[in-house]
Amino acid sequence: MTRHILLLLLATAFLLSGCGSCRYLIEDEPLLLHYRCEPDREHLAGLAQGYGEIIRQNQEDEAVSQPGLFADYAASLALLGFREESSRWFNREAALYPNAAPYVAALKRLLILEYASDTSTDAQVVDLSAFDFSAPADELSLQAAPAPKLTPQEKKALAKEKEKAKKEKAKAKKQAAKEKAKAKKESERQKAKDRKAADKAKAQAQKEAEAAKVQAAKEKALAKKAEQEAKEQAKKQAEAAKKQAAKEKAIAKKAEQEAKEQAKKEAEQAKKQAEKEKAQAKKAEQEAKDQAKKEAEKAKKEAEKQAEQAKESEE
């Protein structure tokens, strides 16, 4: 348990330390966009005030200022007529970021030539709330002129009044912020409610769509299965018919082959018989021939014998 508390404390400390170094950026504010859209003195003053506020906040939070912030503040002050303060802020930028020194020098020559060689960096955020920037520039310079000398008492009273006004302003700002946050919270709550309802409807619709999809898929699968089965049946039948035909063909072929072989056999047998008969006839003929020859020789011999006998008798 103690370990968990320790971990929680560490995490909180880490988060808090992270927030401490957050720096405020002018890019997150609409002031720059307002000035770009309508580049007049009023918007420029608003922008300068915004820069001043960011510098003050960064100083309070001990955060590192964004590079170029002091230079932009200086440029806005120069354009509004606060030339000395502008020079000091330009110098602070150049001191903090050496990359900026050449362009700071060029801009000082361009905007505040009389302070081109000034090197003072003791700059303070200018309170612009006391000036009316909706008035033309020459009137502003009158208002911005140094005030008449005051007695210490008057000075004290003025300072007190200023402090009071500042406090009231801060209070009003805080109140406004609170109200704004409340309104935002309310609006967010309403939005969340709406979103929840929309999400619910969406989820329901999605569910229905999915169910329909599943049903359609099921039906499709069934139809596909039936089609597949019919196809397979037809295929089977075709194969059986093919097999039968092949069988019949084979039988016919066998019979034909057998008949052919039988005929061939018979022909060979007949041929053999004929050859045998021919050989027998030839043999008989030869024998007859031999017999005749033998008989002729015998007759010849007999005749010769008779002739010799006759001759002998004659003698």
Partner 1 sequence: MKHHSLYIICILLVSLSSCRQTTKIATYGDLYTEAPTTIYLAPVQDLAPRPDDRTMGGKEMVREYALAANYLPQTLATPLLRQGYYVLPQLVSIQIAQAESRSIPQLLNGDLSSYQQDYNIDAILFVTIHKWSVQNGGIVAYLEYALRSTKTGITLMHCWVKGHKRNWVNFHGESVPLTSDNEFAVEMELSDSEAQRCLLLLQVSDIIIRNLPTSSSRRQFRDDLYKAANPTYLYMFSNETGEMEVSPLALEKFEMECFAE
Residues that bind partner 1 (CB under 8 A): 25-28, 30, 32-33, 36-37, 47, 66-69, 71-72, 75-76, 79, 97, 99-103, 106-107, 110-111, 184, 188, 191, 198, 201-202, 205
| Contact criterion met (CB below 8 Å) for 68 and 100 | yes
Q: Which is nearer to partner 1, 190 or 237 (CB)?
A: 190
**Helix count (H) and strand count (E) of the chain?**
8, 0
CB nearer to partner 1: pick between 197 and 238 = 197
Q: How far is the CB of 124 from partner 1 (least distance, A)?
A: 19
Nearer to partner 1, 38 or 290 (CB): 38
State how far the Cα of 251 lies from the Cα of 257, in Å rounded to an integer: 10
Q: Name which of 210 and 275 has its Cβ closer to partner 1.
A: 210
Task: Please report how close the Cβ of residue 223 comes to partner 1 at its closest, in angstroms.
Answer: 31
Cα 264 to Cα 251: distance, rounded to the nearest angstrom: 20
Nearer to partner 1 among residue 28 and residue 60 (C-beta):
28
Q: Which is nearer to partner 1, 20 or 102 (CB)?
A: 102
Q: Which residues, including other chains, have CB under 8 Å from residue 31's CB and lie 6 or more apart? A: 43, 46, 47, 50
Instruction: State which residue, 103 or 131, has the beta carbon closest to partner 1.
Output: 103
**Cα 126 to Cα 82: distance, rounded to the nearest angstrom:** 9
Least CB distance to partner 1 at residue 171 (A): 23
**Nearest distance in Å: CB 199, partner 1:** 9
What six digits make up the tokens of 304?
């010769």
Q: 82-88 contacts: CB < 8 A, separation 24 or more?
A: 82/126, 82/144, 83/112, 83/114, 83/115, 84/115, 85/123, 85/124, 85/126, 86/111, 86/112, 86/115, 87/112, 87/115, 87/118, 87/120, 88/118, 88/120, 88/121, 88/122, 88/123
Shortest distance in whole angstroms from residue 201 CB to partner 1: 5
**What does each C-alpha distance from 229 to 222, 233, 296 come to in angstroms?**
10, 6, 98
CB of 67: closest distance to partner 1 in angstroms?
A: 5
Nearest distance from residue 101's CB to partner 1, in Å?
Answer: 7
Report in angstroms how near the CB of residue 15 gets to partner 1 at its nearest: 21
- In the structure encoding, which two tokens stand for residue 33, read together? 């966009």
Q: How far is the CB of 37 from partner 1 (least distance, A)?
A: 5
Rounded Cα gap, residues 24 and 64, in angstroms: 9
Buried b (16+ CB within 10 A) or exposed e, 133-142: beeeeeebee
Q: Is 313 left (phi over 0), alpha (psi -120 to 50) or beta?
A: alpha
Give whichever of 97 and 131 is closer to partner 1, judged by the CB atom: 97
127, 144 Cβ separation under 8 angstroms:
no
Of the pair 184, 300, the CB lying nearest partner 1 is at 184
